[in-house]
Amino acid sequence: MHCLTDYDTKILLAFYMSLKGDKKFSEFLMQNGFPELEALAQGIHSNVAAMQWLLDNGYPEFAVLSNAIDDEPEAIEWLQKYHCDFLLMFAAACRKNVPAMKWFADRDLKLFVLIINEIQQILMHQSWDSSDIHKFRRS
């Protein structure tokens, strides 16, 4: 199984910038052998094709992570079943679970806290977009 802790700081910073929408860092991840992190970033932004890419290319734990971040019970259970403890804690922190957020702070995992805060912002904007009547599609 793959985990976010497997990556060097520089790569995780590129992932963070990709989450923020910086195409230069998205391209860096793609061109330097880390397409799974770009796919995860896109999956967190609700890109279904990116989620499928993760499943099809040997990164199911990252696809499940994205779903666990969205608080899908089956995804959380999957992470528990396969003992993906760090990813489980990461997903909980992204959902603003206070003990999980404290776990990262207590271990001085500043880069992960930065990434978690960005994902919290993404989730907040997604929530706003889903309730914005101007963004509803007509059938």
Give, for all 139 residues of the chain, the pLDDT tens digit.
Answer: 899 999 999 999 999 999 999 999 999 999 999 999 999 999 999 999 999 999 999 999 999 999 999 999 999 999 999 999 999 999 999 999 999 999 999 999 999 999 999 999 999 988 755 554 444 444 3
Tokens of 61: 């734990």
The residues spanned by each domain of the chain are 8-131
Token duo for residue 110:
């500043």
Q: Which of 70, 69, 88 is nearest to 78 (CA)?
A: 88
